[in-house]
Structure 1
Amino acid sequence: MSDASLELQEAPRASQDAHAAHRKKRWRGFVLPLLAFALWWFVSRDAKGSHGLLVSPVQVLQTALEQVRSGALLRAMTASLTRELTGFFIGSSLGLALGALLGVSKIANRAIAPSFNTFKQVSLFAWIPLISVWFGLGDLAKVVFLSLAALVPVVVHTNDGIRAAPPRLLEVARAYRYSKLQLLTAVVLPAALPSIFTGVYLALIYSWLATLGAEYLLVAGSGIGNTLVDGSEQFRMDLVLFGVIVVGLTGWALNALARAIQRRWFDRRAN
């Protein structure tokens, strides 16, 4: 049997082994949540629970069913995700434009970068009093807040990615007399894409985290953050834990979606 035929037979086996290893690593991520759930179940079963501080998984499940049947969960998640995605797209778009400007133009970098570096050191939540005065407590104020959350990581990673373009590639492109537009589109942007994707990914996660903060501090309107507020004010720990679980699962889903899009994009470019 030739070496080529042996390689053809071994290739599927190697692929199967890689997929099996990937499945094992993926299932390991469920170990800690399952242990936490088992501990919660055990402690809540043995607790007296008259004070209402610790509720059982069954109570949380009943609350979840009530929220689903009444449509409260759908309304809250629709409001939260609409705000989150609106702020994410506005902040990311502005971040891409500003980051590209800082990365391409030395004049803009010298004029704007010092002020931006000072701006990004201000805590995001420090802007809430100013935003609430200017835009009120409604959806507009929340979208502005979420746009700020998405803006900073996209600007930073876009600027860094463009400035980190390999000098050898730039030299080759100049040797072939590429125009500035060709240099940007054919060399600089492809080299900067991994960093840009990282910034957009972080913007998606940060804007979701900021959604909860905005709904908690700018309390007008509906949303999953307001569900947490209602549960806290009514001293309903079942509603609070339900909201926490929904927030965690939504964040996990957004993270998985962003990673899947990133992998598919780069796999397509590699092929």
Structure 2
Amino acid sequence: MSKFAALSSAVAASETTAPLQVRSNGRWKGFVLPVFALVLWWASSELDLVNSALLVSPLKVLETAIDQFSSGKIWVALGASLGREMAGFAIGTFAGLVLGGLLGFVPLFNRIVGPSFNTFKQISLFAWIPLLSVWFGLGDVAKVVFLSLAALLPVVVNTCDGIKNTPPKLLEVAQVYGYTRWQTITGVILPAAIPSIFTGVYLALIYSWLATIGAEYLLAAGTGIGNTLVDGSEHFQMDLVIFGMVVIGLVGWLMNALARLVERRISLGYGRS
């Protein structure tokens, strides 16, 4: 067993070393463009280079942000949006893991369901909104179903691909050691597929957040950060629109950072085992 584990580690290291070596020593350079854009924005508003009704000043957006946080409106909106996002993400991820596992492990199921799923995933996600609005209305149920679809697709694809792309060398070693089918699945295929599976879950988290904003914008009933953008655009409050966009970007950035942190922890734990 120790020889097999050593071989697994060697194969995994050979496949993942190159991407991990791509690191930037000057991370601060990533702030150059945002700072430049902020300065250009401030200068344009101060010098009246752009119609103030279309591009409000950074100070006005800051005042709106203070008002939103002090009144608690932003917390209510974010709580509603994140609640829907987490519900849709959980449902879609669970269903995606099950469906992806069946497609990857059961050849007969893949032959029967695979072609239909490949057709299904070609349909634009937002094309489902008219149908969902008829079936479930404009409330939270329709939004959660929509978010579940957004999370489902990347999880299914990456789970199935991760299972099917298990390195042949690992399977050969498992056969030499006399592994049973169950031992091969739990001790070889699933560990080898973990990076691909996690990629699918990571994409599901990001896609479901992006879909949350789209669902709230197009299915406008209810409360949420997407509805904050709708309110701002309907009342021509560009400060509220820009503030909402900044909040959406920051939340997405935090999700990305947390997902990467969890990925590193899982990778380290898998490496130790």
TM-score by length of 1: 0.90
Deviation at 1:29, TM superposition (A): 1.6
Deviation at 1:171, TM superposition (A): 1.5
Query: What is the match of residue 207 of structure 1?
Result: 208
Deviation at 1:66, TM superposition (A): 0.4
Query: What is the match of residue 122 of structure 2?
Result: 121
How far does the alpha carbon of each residue in 1:173-206 deviate from its partner, in whole angstroms, 9 at most, with x for none?
1222211111101000010011001111110110
Deviation at 1:51, TM superposition (A): 5.1
Query: What is the match of residue 250 of structure 2?
Result: 249
How far does the alpha carbon of each residue in 1:88-142 deviate from its partner, in whole angstroms, 9 at most, with x for none?
0100110001001100010011001100000000000000011011111000100
RMSD: 1.4
Query: What is the match of residue 194 of structure 2?
Result: 193
Is the aligned partner of 1:78 residue 2:46? no
Is the aligned partner of 1:100 residue 2:98? no
Deviation at 1:23, TM superposition (A): 8.0
Deviation at 1:50, TM superposition (A): 6.2
TM-score by length of 2: 0.89
Structure-1 separation of matches of 2:23 and 2:96: 34
Deviation at 1:250, TM superposition (A): 0.7
Amino acid at match of 1:143: V
Amino acid at match of 1:251: G
Amino acid at match of 2:151: A
* Higher Cα radius of gyration: 1
Query: What is the match of residue 168 of structure 1?
Result: 169
Name whichever of 41-50 and 110-119 sits farther off.
41-50
Query: What is the match of residue 135 of structure 2?
Result: 134
Is the partner of 2:26 in helix, strand or coil?
Answer: helix
Query: Tell me, which stretches of 5 or more residues in structure 2 are unaligned?
Result: 1-21
Deviation at 1:25, TM superposition (A): 2.9
Is the aligned partner of 1:46 residue 2:47? yes
Query: What is the match of residue 13 of structure 1?
Result: none
Deviation at 1:22, TM superposition (A): 6.5
Query: Tell me, which stretches of 5 or more residues in structure 1 are unaligned?
Result: 1-20
Structure-1 separation of matches of 2:195 and 2:50: 50
Amino acid at match of 1:177: G
Structure-1 separation of matches of 2:104 and 2:51: 60
Query: What is the match of residue 6 of structure 2?
Result: none
Query: What is the match of residue 66 of structure 1?
Result: 67
How far does the alpha carbon of each residue in 1:202-234 deviate from its partner, in whole angstroms, 9 at most, with x for none?
101100000000000001100000000000000
| Segments of 4+ moved more than 2 angstroms | 21-26, 48-51
How far does the alpha carbon of each residue in 1:5-62 deviate from its partner, in whole angstroms, 9 at most, with x for none?
xxxxxxxxxxxxxxxx978432222111111111111111111776511111100000
Number of aligned residue pairs:
251
Amino acid at match of 1:90: I
Structure-1 separation of matches of 2:44 and 2:238: 15
Structure-1 separation of matches of 2:159 and 2:52: 51
Is the partner of 1:117 in helix, strand or coil?
Answer: helix
